[in-house]
Structure 1
Amino acid sequence: MKTTSLSGKIFDAVNIVFLALLAIITLYPFWHVLVGSVLPYEEAIKSSFNLFPTKWTFEAYEYIFSKDTILQSLLVSVLVTVLGTLYQLFITAITAYPLIKQDLPGRSAIFLFMVFTMFFSGGLIPYYLLIKNLGMVNSLAVMIIPAALSMYNMIVLKTFFQSIPVELEESAKMDGAGYMTVFFRIILPLSIPSLATIGLFIAVGQWNNWYQPMLFLNDKDLWPLAMVLRDILINNNTNATASFSAMNEQFMLADTIKYAIVMVSVIPIIIVYPFIQKHFVKGVMIGSIKS
């Protein structure tokens, strides 16, 4: 029979209490926004603190999905996230793979030059002028093409590639396979955990990206959901909140609409995460340790 010392029991109890408090602190903001998004007007004006509402309504969600602006921004976010994630994963993979080859001429110099860009950049003004001269201002391409490669993701993936036994590649080459065949038929299939992990990082960054649209997208029809949400929450868009305040014969707090938009922007990532979770820990651990 397994016995636990008194000190062990105390440690377990303190650990459970600490983790429970941490979970509550982490989850409460999400719960507060979720509750706020379904509160009826008469309940919302009574108190700003409603932990367990007795009444709820989905009028806020019905309202925002009836607006073309929200639906269009949601579609833009989905498009940019899907294309941007696939594009960045491909660029990251084809960059990391050659850098594991010992016989690549100038491999160390190329790698050091790329790492240099992690710490130094040309600055915002040269970057803006570059994007403008490339003709990507007011184009969805500005949210996809410039963010082709993250050095952090590339280093993680490169380390993962190095953990794959080189004998697999050598045996494939003996059977007549070239570099591209090895890359697509052996390296990538074996790298699914790491690719899934990096893909999740990229997708979350793309979904929450408001900085690029703020700099380069003047046409509001091209704004993603994160930019529309920022415009409402940060800038307190008076036109938007004014239209949110009245609904024909029913009234609704602007905050209720804001909470609903926040939930709409968060839920897609929450839905995607469980499908990636099984690869997440494995991908991070394997990609961070060189065998």
Structure 2
Amino acid sequence: MVKSTSLSGKLFDATNYFLLIVMALITLYPFWYVLVGSVIPYEEAIQSTLHLFPKRISFEAYDFVFSKNTIIKSLLVSLFVTVAGTLYQLFITAITAYPLIKQDLPGRSAIFLFIIFTMFFGGGLIPYYLLIKSLGMVNSLAVMILPAAISTYNMIVLKTFFQNIPLELEESAKIDGAGYMKIFFRIIIPLSVPALATIALFIAVGQWNNWYTPMLFLNDKALWPLAMVLRDILINNNMELTRGGSFVSEEFMLGDTIKNAVVIVSVVPIIVVYPFIQKHFVKGVMIGSIKS
């Protein structure tokens, strides 16, 4: 940012900094509140509902959370579903977007319009449930991976990115005897890492936070992902997962401290992944600005 030297410019910059700091504090406060609420002792939690800074830090809630096999299993289920679903959807999205950039593809426009049609019209919840049931995916982790094969929005974004790759690269590869599959995996995919990383993060966040699908199709609680367990604790106030603990604090602790700890456990994996993908966001923006 170029700093202004005039008085009005300095005032403008100071106002911008002030507003950005205020927005940052407003954004971070809910997370900080939950984080502090997960590490305060039970005695401090019942004294006040506002905790900006803990007087004493206690990891009793996290010990309790990680001592429960149900939560550990749900965390592993979420990791499996997120990784498998992300790779699966990313592959299907890429191999769908790539042919649609070919001008010589027969029925290219009709195929694209048919895919766009699915963004605005669907069969409804009941037909969808009957379809999943007829395919035998009720009470199966496959229901969280296979049906969500592709997002039309992600496909359009990736298709647009593929179109910005110079055609001369493909033509040179064809002269050397490369086929479409070799061009796709050896040229298109390596050049599309920024776009693929961005879409992968979108898919991963959606998979990690998906509680609606297991709510509809997973009756077996052993198959529930962490998002569904968290929803059951926070919304339905289900205390079954937290009974049987050997802690001095009673069940009143569950209303705040343990719930906050479960929220933090569910949020941290995505926060940890984001810094590794952030550089691809910046690179993708720069590539788009240069080509346009």
Question: One fold, TM greater than 0.5?
Answer: yes
Q: Who is 2:262 aligned against?
A: 261
Alignment gaps of 5+ in structure 2: none
Partner Cα distance (1:236, 1:87) in 2: 34
Whether 2:34 is the aligned partner of 1:33: answer yes
How many angstroms does 1:289 deviate by? 9.5
CA contact (8 A) 2:68 2:241 kept: no
Once the two structures are overlaid, the 10-residue window that deviates more, 14-23 or 281-290, is 281-290
How many angstroms does 1:287 deviate by? 6.4
CA contact (8 A) 2:4 2:13 kept: no
Instruction: Report the AA paired with residue 263 of structure 2.
Output: V
Partner Cα distance (2:91, 2:288) in 1: 17
Partner Cα distance (1:15, 1:207) in 2: 35
* CA displacement 1:4-55 (0-9 Å, x = unmatched): 1222111111111111110000000000000000000111111111101110
Q: Who is 1:156 aligned against?
A: 157
Instruction: Report the AA paired with residue 62 of structure 1.
Output: D
* DSSP-derived class of the 1:78 partner: helix
How many angstroms does 1:238 deviate by? 4.0
CA contact (8 A) 2:86 2:204 kept: yes
How many angstroms does 1:111 deviate by? 0.3
How many angstroms does 1:250 deviate by? 4.3
Q: Who is 1:101 aligned against?
A: 102
* DSSP-derived class of the 1:264 partner: helix
Alignment gaps of 5+ in structure 1: none
Partner Cα distance (2:136, 2:4) in 1: 70
* CA displacement 1:192-234 (0-9 Å, x = unmatched): 0000000000000000000000000000000000000000001
CA contact (8 A) 2:93 2:150 kept: yes
Q: Who is 1:247 aligned against?
A: 246
Q: Who is 2:189 aligned against?
A: 188
Partner Cα distance (1:258, 1:85) in 2: 27
What is the TM-score normalised by the length of structure 2? 0.95
Q: Who is 2:277 aligned against?
A: 276
Once the two structures are overlaid, the 10-residue window that deviates more, 231-240 or 200-209, is 231-240
* CA displacement 1:109-138 (0-9 Å, x = unmatched): 110110010011011011001100011000
Partner Cα distance (2:42, 2:191) in 1: 53
CA contact (8 A) 2:36 2:52 kept: yes
Instruction: Report the AA paired with residue 39 of structure 1.
Output: I
CA contact (8 A) 2:70 2:241 kept: no
Distance 1:290 1:132, change over 3 A: farther
1:126-141 maps to which residues of 2 (within 5 A)?
Answer: 126-141=127-142
How many angstroms does 1:288 deviate by? 9.4
Instruction: Report the AA paired with residue 262 of structure 1.
Output: V
Distance 1:230 1:204, change over 3 A: same
CA contact (8 A) 1:229 1:261 kept: yes
What is the TM-score normalised by the length of structure 1? 0.95
CA contact (8 A) 2:4 2:10 kept: no
Partner Cα distance (1:266, 1:211) in 2: 17
Whether 2:111 is the aligned partner of 1:110: answer yes
Q: How many residues align?
A: 288
CA contact (8 A) 1:80 1:143 kept: yes
Distance 1:277 1:56, change over 3 A: same
> Percent same amino acid at aligned positions?
77
Whether 2:20 is the aligned partner of 1:19: answer yes
Distance 1:3 1:9, change over 3 A: closer
Q: Who is 1:207 aligned against?
A: 208
Q: Who is 1:90 aligned against?
A: 91
Instruction: Report the AA paired with residue 146 of structure 2.
Output: I
Partner Cα distance (1:201, 1:70) in 2: 24
Partner Cα distance (1:25, 1:3) in 2: 27
Q: Who is 1:178 aligned against?
A: 179
How many angstroms does 1:286 deviate by? 4.8
* CA displacement 1:92-123 (0-9 Å, x = unmatched): 00000000000000101110110010011011
